[in-house]
Amino acid sequence: MTGAVSPGEDGRIRGRCRKCMLEDWDDKTLHEKILRTVEQMDPDVRAEEAVYQARLEHCRSCDKLLAGMCRVCGCFVEVRAANKNSRCPGEHHHW
Ligand code: SF4
């Protein structure tokens, strides 16, 4: 998917897919920072990869996902889902 960054005259970022994870954007800078944050997490608190991916699949189909962020808690879901102690903050607790 394309996710071109195109700040308008008012400086607001437009053109990003509202239903994409950061990894889906053409602009990889922020996603690389997020990945580094996940990689630097203590292994004791990091969720198993299969759990992590399953959580992200729930987020992808959730109407609270907006440009890589959860609109309920404001977290980047790719960080929140990486912590095995985290829970989905949504009303239906998808994970
Ligand atoms: S409410 Fe839960 S499933 Fe939805 S985006 Fe937030 S963390 Fe993901």
- Do 90 and 80 meet the contact criterion of CB atoms below 8 Å apart? no
DSSP character at residue 75: -
Calculate how far, in angstroms, residue 92's C-alpha sits from the geometric centre of ligand 1: 9
The 10s digit of each residue's pLDDT in 49-59 is 999 999 999 99
The 10s digit of each residue's pLDDT in 70-86 is 999 999 999 999 999 99
Residue 18 lies in a domain: yes
What per-residue confidence (pLDDT) applies to 78? 95
Number of domains in the chain: 1
Instruction: Compute the average pLDDT of residues 17-42.
Output: 79
Does the pTM surpass 0.85? The reply is no
Residue 2 lies in a domain: no
Q: If 0-12 CB within 10 Å is exposed, 13-18 middle and 19+ buried, where does residue 30 land?
A: middle
E strands present in the chain = 65-66, 69-70
Residue 26 lies in a domain: yes
pLDDT higher than 50, residue 1: no
Ligand 1 pocket, Cβ-based, cut-off 6 angstroms: 58-59, 62, 64-65, 70, 72, 77, 88-90, 94
Domain range enclosing 45:
8-95
